[in-house]
Each structure stands twice: as structure tokens, then as C-alpha cells.
Amino acid sequence: MYEHQKIEQKWQEYWQEHQTFAASNNSKKPKSYLLVEFPYPSGAGLHVGHVRSYTALDTLARKRRMEGHNVLFPIGWDAFGAPAEQYAIKNHIHPKDAVKANIKTFKKQIEELGISFDWNREFSTTDPEYYKWTQWQFLKFYEHGMAYKAKKNINWCPTCKTGLSNEDSAGGVCERCGSQVYQKEKEQWLLRMSDYAEDLIQGLDDTNFSDRVKIGQINWIGKSKGAEIDFKIGDENLTVYTTRPDTIYGVTFMVIAPEHPLIEKLSSKITNMDEIKKYQEFAKTKSELERTELSKEKTGVEIKGIKAINPVTQKEIPIWTADYVMMGYGTGAIMAVPAHDSRDYEFANKFNIDIIPVIEGDTLPYTGDGKYINSDILNGMTNKDEAVHKMIDYLEKNKIGRPKVNYRLQDWIFSRQRFWGEPIPLINCPNCGWVEVPEKDLPVRLPDVANYEPTDDGESPLAGIDEWVNTTCPKCGGKAKRETDTMPNWAGSSWYWLRYMDAHNDQEFVSKEALNYWGKVDWYDGGMEHVARHLLYARFWNQFLYNIGLVPNKEPFDKRTLHGMILGPDGEKMSKSKGNVINPHSIVEEFGADALRVYEMFIGDYEKDAAWSTNGLKGCKRFLDRVWKIGEKLNDKQGYQNEVLVNQTIKKVSDDIENIKYNTAVSALMILLNNYEDEESITRDEYRTLLHLLNPFAPHITEELNEKYSLGKPLCESNWPKYDETKIENDNYELVFQVNGKVRGKMEVAKETSKQEMEKLAKENENVKKFIEGKEIVKIITIPGRLVNIVVK
């Protein structure tokens, strides 16, 4: 029908030459900062999923520019981290070169889609000019006591040979390769993210994230309210954390985690230490090998020779150790109330421990509300919250406990034993300890070496490069060694949106002026898979920068939307092994970028997954062919023949783009075209408006047609169409007649028809008459502009 390749190339060159999409850092126009998650430039090339997200915000960006906004719509590359490194190892190239080649491919593929990115602000997280500032910001964390090194049991992936954060090893499985992760004790850098748990929850109030996103964040942070209670073991204190202090009268045993330090401390008093040591070993191997096993039969050993004293009842309580209590949460110890907790119940049943109900109920373990029994000061109460309060008051008064809030969120393990990451810019001096690399010496560059594969001994590959490791102490000038761990791949993505504001600044990570001008990201689109990790890290990082006065907003993103995945034609997630991958490049070649863009916007609800359909794509291509062809019906007239429909369409498309309802926006344009096709000929205004509204979706063909028929300035340099509020409603409408809520007739009537008139018309309708004849009219409901419903008996 038309030669899409030529046209698309032509207009891409036009935009490039005219710098149509360059954002200005000082403009009187209203600003819009639109952001998509920057991609990993993997060897596989661009995915149709990228196309969906980029086209969606591109549509918005193009529309807003035409509405007179100064739009910042940038792109860059998140190129550090395991995927890039593994690709490089596999293909025997230096990661630096692999990344360079992949970026080139990605860039070409994005450019041929006609996405209106401001390429002037492009960078990669692997550019020394960029990671210099990532390192610089790490030093800010360090200077403020927010980064620390600690010997920690970390999640170790034996395949990737590196430590992982909790977020990266959810479920005991490596996020990257799927290997079983096990606990390994190692010195690691950590960021004190847990200090920000509450702020990260509170901050959500300052955002316009959807509830789905907010809930995702809140769940990950995992706040729980409860109390700490001190039990005595002789002179020692055993503090437990519980959310149900009101059930303390039902405690029949204590459980402490196998790694709990109290075991070591009291070992002289414990009479079955051999048995306990054996259990500790068992628990350790279990966590290594059988963690995901479904059989979660409770195991444990009673610690003999010591007893705890319930501080409220003064009763002696036996102490057990069991691996269903984790050292990493709360205090690593619990008071077990088998009558009202299913796990404690299971344990008590298995080991024949007493079960004392303290809240009335039929079945055990009973966890609902009820009347308190066997509970001394709480007896007779029926309200759980009141009982909890009363008990906490009692604990506080008697100095045996206190209210306590716990979070699941832990500190961020920030070390990786990999080559392809930002080196942590610290130097270890035998005299001075840890010393920062001075700002003038940043960035600490990665060396050019031949061997960057991970080692088996758990050290970073950098550790083997003597000439890199050995350095002098910036403080005392003596011999010292560099830190050889690198940062996780989440580091570079934790502040990249700030850099776009001022991408080539070599004096600061971003200037104050740029920060103040651009403020928050107005709209951030990305995938569900990043709601837990990336979004949390990025917000944490930004909140820290805010707290030390480096950025003007505590929350970095105002609005966050989630795109659904594009699945293969078979409805399965696209993957090489399934052979259901659709390559955007070949689609562009065969059908054109415009067709691909329109199709991906039309494919369905933006937030939901959708299966690829080549027939659906063809339908969109057909639509564009018809848009092209209808130019032949152009007459010399101005104005709109069907004013209502055109004005309605302008309104609908404008609103739908802002409300991420791209599918219905495209549908509205199809309806408009269908209407044009029913006309003898179409006016110049009609054609221009159709092309203009379609332009954000299909920017090439619409510019070409606009030029071909000399309809006006290029669309990208023209003002977005405005609708006439007085012309979006018809003078007539179809009045619906119902009897008992069922449609029995319809009639075209004038907009201003009165209620009385409507009722009269309803009763006169032949078909309605049939249904009300001989029946008693109970009442008549009349909705002006819509319907009349006659209720009969």
C-alpha cells in the first residue's frame, strides 16, 4: 500500500536534524518528566515487551509536546551486572566490548521504532563518567554511617559464585540462574536500608502509585506491631518478640533459633549439649539442601537443664530449639502458644507439650476473637485489641516488656564478588583502616584484564589482580589494598533518573538547577517484576539523598504504572527454548514501525498480559493502509461534516492517552475512519485531525500524509487538536423503553424532551403496550437522556 521503510527513515532523519525531541533545562513551558525503565542491553536484542512500554510513554510524550510541554523522555543502558557478564564470558569477549556491541544493536532497534527519546542524554551505567558518581554517592552513604562492612551469613549462589541480596534470592533460589542458594559466612558491605523501613512506608502517601504498587511495597517491607517480652533464665534474659502478648497465659514452651547465641552462653548449664549440637548441624544442612522441600514436618530438640520463667505467671517453661524459628527475624526466639498459633500447635502435638487455651473457641488452634479465659487480668474480655493493649501496659509497668514494631525488610547486602560492577571506592590500610578514595581520584576504574570470570574461593576476580589491588593509603601514604568487591547491578539503576536531568555534568552528579527544574519524575512506567526490588532500592537511595540535602524531593517518582507482559502466540512467556519469540526488528521490516506501535497499543488493557497475534497486527496494518488510502477522497473544503463525532474523538483520544487506555484510543480512531469511509469525500480539516490524533501512535505515516496533501506544518510542530465542548453531544438520542427492566422499544428523541413527554412516548409505543396491557402500573422510572422503565404487576 505504501512504502513504510522509506517513510519511516525519512521522518526519523527529520526529527534527528531538527532535534525535535531534545528537552530544554530552562524553559517557561510546563515540564513533563516521563520515564521508562532503562534496559539491560542483552545479547538477545530488543523484546516486543520493551516496545510496549516505550511506545506507551512515547505516545504520551509526543502528545504532551504538541500540547506545549517541555518533555524529558530519556533513555540509557543498565549494563552492569550478571547478565552482561555472563554473556561476555559465554562469548569470550570483554564485558566492556560485549556491552558496546549490544548497546549498538539495541539503539538501532529502538531508533527504527521512532521512539521520541532525547538521545542527547543517553548514557550507560558502565560509563566511567557515570559510575564515578555512583561511587561518589556510595561514599556519601559511607560518610553518613549508612554503609558498613560486617561478617554476615549471606545468600551465596554456587553457580554465579557471588553473594546475593535477600531480594535477589527470594525463595532460597538465585534470581538469575535458579540455583539453590545457601548461607555462607562472609564479610560484606551493607547499606542500612532497614533504618528506612518506616519512611519507605510513609513516603508512599506522597506518591500517586496505584494500590497494587503500594501494596507490593508495603508487603515487602513487612511491618508488624507487637511486643518484646523478657523471660528470665536464671540470671540471663531471653527476649522474645510476639504480636500476641495477650496470649501470654497460654505459653507452654519457648523456642529459640538453632543459631541463637544463648545456647553457646549457657552451654555449661545445658545437660544435653551433644544432642543440641547435632541438631544445629542438622538445621544447617537442612537449610542448604531441603529448604524448598514441601515436607515441613516440625523438628526440634528440648534444651535440658535450663528453664525460662514466664514473667507474668512466674511459671517454669521448658525451652526448645527448632528451625521454624529464624534468627533473622525478631529476636530469634518466641514464646509458643500452641492453643492459638498453628505452627506452635503442630509442634506441641508432635512433641506432646501442654496446650492451654486462653481464648474460647471450638477448634484448635483457635485464632479468631473470643472471650479470654485462664488469663487472670484479661479474663472476661472479648476484644483482642483491648486485651493486647492491656497486656502491653502491664508489661511496661512491670518492666518486663515493651511495645515493639518489627520489619521484614533487612539491610541491603551491597557487595558482589564479581568483575562487572562498580568497584567499591574504599581502600583498606593496615594503619588507618577503611579509607575513602578521594573524590579527585574517582572513578575507581575497572582494569582491562583478560580474566574476569568468577572464582571458586568466594573472592572477587579483582582480588587476583595485584597491580590493581595494591595501592597507597590516601591518608598515611603507606601500603594499602583496594576493596575488591563490586556493587550489585541495582546500584546504577538507583539514581539514573537523576542523571538524565543533567547527563553530561562532570562537576556534580547532577546540578541543583537541573534538580529543581525537573523535580520528580512525573510518570514512571515499568514492569511488575521491579516493584519489589528496584522501586524499593531507588526510593531508599533517593530518600537518603534527600535527607543529606542532595535532592529536593523525598520521593523520586510521582506516578508509577505497570505494563503487562507480551506473551508468545501460544499464550506462554516468550523464550528461546519455547521458540515463541517475536523479534521487533523483523516485524518492523515486514509491517513497519507504525503498524507494530499501533498494534501493541491496541492489543488490550495496558496493565494486563496479552498474547501476540500476527493477525491482530495485520488488522492494524490494514487500518493504516486505509488511513493512507482515504487521502484520495480529500476535497477542498474545511470544517467537519460530523462535528459531534470528530469532537468526541478528540476528547476521547486525549483523555485515553492520559489514562493509559491506549486500546480504546486506537479503537476511537478506527471508528472515526470508518465514519470517514462512509462519506462521499472528506474535508482537509477532517483528514488533518485524524492524522494528528493518530500521530502519537503512528508518527511516520501521519507526518508523511500531512506533508503529501499539504495539510499544514509538520504535526510534531503543531498544536494538539482541541475539542469544542459545545459540540460533543448530539441533539438527539435513542430513548430506551423498558418494562420491568427489560428493553421493549427504542426511539430517537430530541435531547430536551421532558420527563412527561418521555413517559407519554413510552406508553404509546406499540411493543410496550403489549407488555403493559391489562396490568397495573406500579411506578414509572424516568431517567432523562436515557430511558423510561415502566414497572407493572
Least separation in angstroms between residue 283's CB and RNA is 9
Listed ranges 214-222, 357-365, 428-436, 589-597: which one lies at the site for RNA (CB under 7 A):
214-222
Q: Which residues pair with 148 in a beta bridge?
A: 190
Question: Is 789 among the residues that bind RNA (CB under 7 A)?
Answer: yes
Q: Which residues contact 255 (CB under 8 A, 6 or more apart)?
A: 300, 319, 320, 321, 322, 324, 325, 333, 334, 336, 344, 347
> How far is it, in rounded angstroms, from Cα 409 to Cα 217?
10
> How far is it, in rounded angstroms, from Cα 559 to Cα 520?
9
Question: Is 401 among the residues that bind RNA (CB under 7 A)?
Answer: no
Give the residue, chosen from 148, 329, 546, 640, that forms a contact with RNA under the rule CB under 7 A.
329
Give the residue, chosen from 241, 372, 495, 524, that forms a contact with RNA under the rule CB under 7 A.
241
Closest CA to 471 of 453, 445, 451: 445
φ, ψ of residue 723 to 5 degrees: the values are: -100, 155
Least separation in angstroms between residue 342's CB and RNA is 8
Comparing CB distances to RNA, the nearer of 374 and 664 is: 664
> How far is it, in rounded angstroms, from Cα 90 to Cα 103?
18
Comparing CB distances to RNA, the nearer of 384 and 408 is: 408
Comparing CB distances to RNA, the nearer of 435 and 611 is: 611
**Pair 683, 676: CB distance under 8 Å:** no
Question: Is 396 among the residues that bind RNA (CB under 7 A)?
Answer: no
Comparing CB distances to RNA, the nearer of 344 and 485 is: 344
Q: Report the site for RNA in 758-777 (rule: CB under 7 A).
A: 767, 770
Comparing CB distances to RNA, the nearer of 142 and 612 is: 612
Question: Is 539 among the residues that bind RNA (CB under 7 A)?
Answer: no
Question: Is 783 among the residues that bind RNA (CB under 7 A)?
Answer: yes
Comparing CB distances to RNA, the nearer of 420 and 599 is: 599
> How far is it, in rounded angstroms, from Cα 101 to Cα 87?
12
Give the helix ranges, DSSP H, for 355-401.
Answer: 384-397
**DSSP result, 341-408:** -HHHHHHHHHHT------B--SSSS--S---B-S-GGGTT---HHHHHHHHHHHHHHTTSEEEEEEES
Q: Report the site for RNA in 542-561 (rule: CB under 7 A).
A: none
Q: Report the site for RNA in 719-738 (rule: CB under 7 A).
A: 733-734, 736, 738
Question: Is 602 among the residues that bind RNA (CB under 7 A)?
Answer: yes
Question: Is 361 among the residues that bind RNA (CB under 7 A)?
Answer: no
Least separation in angstroms between residue 160's CB and RNA is 17
Q: Report the site for RNA in 274-293 (rule: CB under 7 A).
A: none
Q: Report the site for RNA in 613-632 (rule: CB under 7 A).
A: 613, 615-616, 618-620, 622-623, 625-626
Comparing CB distances to RNA, the nearer of 232 and 298 is: 298
Comparing CB distances to RNA, the nearer of 101 and 780 is: 780
Least separation in angstroms between residue 240's CB and RNA is 7
Question: Is 325 among the residues that bind RNA (CB under 7 A)?
Answer: yes
**Pair 239, 228: CB distance under 8 Å:** yes
**Pair 593, 113: CB distance under 8 Å:** yes
**DSSP result, 225-246:** EEEEEEEEETTEEEEEEES-GG
User: Coil, strand, or helix at residue 743?
Assistant: strand
Least separation in angstroms between residue 380's CB and RNA is 23
Comparing CB distances to RNA, the nearer of 705 and 716 is: 705
Number of residues engaging RNA in binding (CB under 7 A)? 79
> How far is it, in rounded angstroms, from Cα 571 to Cα 596?
19
| H helix and E strand count, the chain | 24, 25
> How far is it, in rounded angstroms, from Cα 394 to Cα 392?
5
Closest CA to 752 of 774, 721, 730: 730
Question: Is 743 among the residues that bind RNA (CB under 7 A)?
Answer: yes
Question: Is 590 among the residues that bind RNA (CB under 7 A)?
Answer: no
Least separation in angstroms between residue 627's CB and RNA is 11
Q: Report the site for RNA in 330-349 (rule: CB under 7 A).
A: 330-332, 334, 341, 343
Instruction: Specify the DSSP element, H or E, that contains 256.
Output: strand 253-256
Q: Which residues contact 651 (CB under 8 A, 6 or more apart)?
A: 723, 728
Q: Which residues pair with 663 in a beta bridge?
A: none
Least separation in angstroms between residue 55's CB and RNA is 16
Terminal-residue alpha carbon distance, the chain: 61
Comparing CB distances to RNA, the nearer of 344 and 555 is: 344
Question: Is 680 among the residues that bind RNA (CB under 7 A)?
Answer: no
Question: Is 228 among the residues that bind RNA (CB under 7 A)?
Answer: no
Least separation in angstroms between residue 410's CB and RNA is 9
Give the residue, chosen from 471, 547, 740, 753, that forms a contact with RNA under the rule CB under 7 A.
740
Least separation in angstroms between residue 727's CB and RNA is 17
Closest CA to 377 of 367, 361, 392: 392
Listed ranges 48-56, 92-100, 578-586, 783-791: which one lies at the site for RNA (CB under 7 A):
783-791
> How far is it, in rounded angstroms, from Cα 202 to Cα 685?
50
Comparing CB distances to RNA, the nearer of 290 and 386 is: 290
Q: Report the site for RNA in 257-276 (rule: CB under 7 A).
A: 257
Question: Is 681 among the residues that bind RNA (CB under 7 A)?
Answer: no
Half-sphere exposure of 743 (CA within 13 A, CB side): 8
Q: Using the CB atoms, write b or e for 371-384: b if 16+ within 10 Å.
A: ebbebeebeebeeb
User: Coil, strand, or helix at residue 508?
Assistant: coil
Give the residue, chosen from 226, 258, 461, 584, that forms a contact with RNA under the rule CB under 7 A.
226
Question: Is 464 among the residues that bind RNA (CB under 7 A)?
Answer: no
> How far is it, in rounded angstroms, from Cα 769 to Cα 390?
69
- Residue type at 469? V
Q: Which x/- pattern over 647-676 shows residues binding RNA (rule: CB under 7 A)?
A: --------------x-xx-xx--xx--x--
Comparing CB distances to RNA, the nearer of 75 and 255 is: 255
> How far is it, in rounded angstroms, from Cα 85 to Cα 40?
11
Comparing CB distances to RNA, the nearer of 156 and 623 is: 623
Q: Which residues pair with 400 in a beta bridge?
A: none
- Residue type at 576? K
**Pair 541, 498: CB distance under 8 Å:** no
Question: Is 604 among the residues that bind RNA (CB under 7 A)?
Answer: yes
Comparing CB distances to RNA, the nearer of 107 and 214 is: 214
Question: Is 611 among the residues that bind RNA (CB under 7 A)?
Answer: yes
Question: Is 406 among the residues that bind RNA (CB under 7 A)?
Answer: yes
Least separation in angstroms between residue 656's CB and RNA is 8
**Pair 669, 693: CB distance under 8 Å:** yes
Comparing CB distances to RNA, the nearer of 536 and 610 is: 610
> How far is it, in rounded angstroms, from Cα 784 to Cα 761?
13
Comparing CB distances to RNA, the nearer of 186 and 744 is: 744
Q: Which residues contact 350 (CB under 8 A, 6 or more apart)?
A: 297, 298
Listed ranges 100-108, 142-150, 218-226, 474-482: which one lies at the site for RNA (CB under 7 A):
218-226
Q: Report the site for RNA in 56-95 (rule: CB under 7 A).
A: none
Question: Is 507 among the residues that bind RNA (CB under 7 A)?
Answer: no
Least separation in angstroms between residue 631's CB and RNA is 14
Question: Is 677 among the residues that bind RNA (CB under 7 A)?
Answer: yes
Between the CA of residue 708 and those of 18, 452, 456, 698, 713, what are the distances in Å? 19, 55, 65, 16, 11
User: Coil, strand, or helix at residue 130?
Assistant: helix
Comparing CB distances to RNA, the nearer of 28 and 779 is: 779
Q: Report the site for RNA in 133-192 (rule: CB under 7 A).
A: 170-171
Give the residue, chosen from 212, 265, 479, 708, that forms a contact with RNA under the rule CB under 7 A.
212
Least separation in angstroms between residue 635's CB and RNA is 19
